[in-house]
């Protein structure tokens, strides 16, 4: 403690056993550089630090799912010392995930669609989306397992393009999930308001790139989405997307891998070694017949087993919504609609046409994205996208801008309808 700052930054003052370790010999020496221009991390940020041997074995994208290593003195959970019923709501929204949430805490604002309500948390005035699923319908249609799977999947999600599950509870008749309210509405509705019901290529690239990132994150967790369509892509207030509805999703195992690229042949032109690529795609297959008719992959139609490749097939039709491809697919047979050669020549040779051609492979083994996941798709049509900074991308100008739902709401005079749906709430015991 008595050393000067200059001495403290000298790694040689550390004990010899630590100096010869991976951390002391490589990482600390490079981090303890007095010149900030030459300090490790100054050029490429965390990417430079992640590749050093000290962090060997760390799987960066799914790092949130890592189990903590054993400690000599394990940590103590604070919640063990709490008296549950004495904990009160703090008027800053911080306890929403841990508090005892019931329907009476929410004020109904409006019905967003068939089973999703816009609700307001009375203590804070914050708006949330409440997905209310009727128990009798779920039992009759044998969908109870899907509701449980959806809740389990949403509890794992922690990504700006995916929803957060803040709370879940049940009434005698319904199961309710409280998630983010996306005031921009559905991407489908925004597309429907555009001239010719089509996006320009720049807007297509903006939205599709975010879909790719969202799917990449899901696949890294072993989750196959299985229901990608514009109706399930919601828009946040800032224009960024959120993938919704996971009742058809399938959670399976995954195998994380690090792919190291060979050094460039011409060392004079390239001064740095290419960074390794992380890959974690779902490995278990499913035989369920699920999905929306327009977006179902060929392997599902034929009854063959399917994996994450079906999500990349659905991306084709998400992209196709923005071009003449989708309108044409409504007029001709499904088998013909999957033939990119039916498009005009000028589109076939464009970057978008080349991407669709690679995604429209009936064989899931050879389909783009089946081998290296999103890493294969982030080229071609998406050239120029700064993937690490995609969250900061600005929404490109649209002919008809999005309409925020909250601007058209009649606020606090809307009450719950007294139809017996949300009466006499009970404690959560279904999940």
Structure tokens at 210: 């975010």
Whole-angstrom Cα distance, residue 301 to residue 198?
A: 28
Separation CA 295–CA 311 (nearest Å): 9
Taking the chain, what is the end-to-end CA distance rounded to the nearest angstrom? 53
Query: Alpha-carbon torsion 75, 80, 86, 88, what sign?
Result: positive
- Catalytic: 227? yes
Which candidate in 35, 227, 344, 427 is catalytic?
A: 227
In sequence order, what are the residues at sequence separation of 6 or more whose Cβ sits closer than 8 angstroms to the Cβ of residue 187? Answer: 207, 230, 231, 233, 234, 235, 241
Query: What's the CA gap between 243 and 210, in Å, rounded?
Result: 10
Q: Is the separation of the CB atoms in 252 and 283 below 8 Å?
A: yes
**Cβ–Cβ under 8 Å, residues 239 and 160:** no
Parallel/antiparallel/unpaired status of strands 250-251 and 223-224:
antiparallel
Phi, psi of 213 (to 5 degrees): -65, -40
Given phi > 0 = left and psi -120 to 50 = alpha, else beta, which region is 142? Answer: left
In 10 A of CB 429, how many CB atoms? 6
* CA–CA distance, 185 with 175 (Å, rounded to integer): 23
Rounded to the nearest 10 degrees, the angle between the axes of helix 309-320 and helix 201-220 is: 160
DSSP 8-state code for residue 424? S
Taking the C-alpha atoms of residue 212 and residue 230, their distance in angstroms, rounded to an integer, is 13
Query: Measured between alpha carbons, how far is residue 139 from residues 170, 292, 426, 428 in Å?
Result: 15, 21, 19, 17
Ramachandran category for residue 125: left, alpha or beta (phi over 0 → left; psi -120 to 50 → alpha): left
Task: Please list the active-site residues.
Answer: 227
């Amino acid at each position: 403690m008595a050393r000067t700052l200059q001495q403290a930054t000298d790694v040689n003052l550390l004990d010899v056993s630590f100096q010869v370790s991976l951390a002391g010999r490589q990482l600390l020496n490079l981090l303890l550089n007095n010149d900030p221009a030459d300090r490790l991390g100054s050029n490429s940020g965390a990417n430079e630090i992640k590749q050093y041997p000290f962090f060997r074995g760390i799987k960066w994208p799914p790092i949130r799912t890592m189990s903590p290593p054993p400690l000599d003195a394990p940590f103590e959970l604070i919640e063990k010392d709490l008296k549950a019923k004495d904990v009160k709501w703090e008027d800053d929204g911080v306890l929403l995930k841990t508090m005892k949430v019931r329907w009476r805490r929410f004020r109904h604002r409006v019905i967003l669609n068939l089973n999703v309500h816009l609700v307001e948390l009375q203590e804070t005035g914050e708006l949330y989306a409440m997905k209310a699923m009727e128990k009798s319908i779920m039992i009759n249609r044998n969908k109870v397992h899907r509701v449980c799977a959806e809740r389990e999947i949403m509890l794992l999600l922690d990504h700006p393009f995916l929803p957060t599950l803040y709370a879940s509870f049940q009434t005698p008749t319904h199961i309710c999930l409280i998630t983010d309210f996306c005031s921009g509405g559905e991407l489908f509705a925004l597309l429907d308001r555009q001239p010719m019901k089509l996006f320009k290529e720049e807007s297509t690239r903006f939205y599709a790139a975010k879909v790719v990132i969202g799917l990449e994150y899901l696949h890294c967790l072993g989750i196959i989405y299985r229901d990608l369509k514009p109706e399930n892509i919601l828009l946040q207030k800032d224009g960024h997307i959120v993938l919704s509805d996971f009742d058809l999703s399938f959670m399976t195992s995954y195998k994380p891998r690090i792919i190291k690229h060979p050094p460039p042949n011409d060392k004079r032109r390239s001064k740095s070694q290419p960074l390794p690529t992380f890959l974690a795609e779902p490995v278990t297959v499913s035989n369920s017949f699920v999905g929306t008719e327009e977006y179902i992959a060929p392997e599902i139609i034929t009854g063959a087993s399917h994996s994450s490749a079906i999500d990349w097939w659905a991306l084709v039709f998400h992209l196709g919504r923005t071009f003449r491809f989708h309108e044409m697919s409504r007029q001709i047979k499904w088998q013909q609609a999957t033939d990119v050669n039916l498009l005009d020549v000028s589109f076939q040779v464009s970057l978008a046409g080349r991407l669709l051609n690679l995604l429209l492979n009936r064989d899931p083994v050879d389909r783009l994205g089946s081998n290296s996941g999103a890493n294969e798709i982030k080229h071609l049509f998406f050239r120029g996208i700064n993937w690490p900074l995609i969250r900061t991308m600005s929404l490109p100008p649209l002919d008809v801008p999005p309409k925020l739902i909250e601007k058209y709401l009649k606020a606090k005079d809307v009450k719950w309808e007294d139809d017996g749906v949300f009466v006499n709430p009970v404690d959560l015991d279904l999940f």
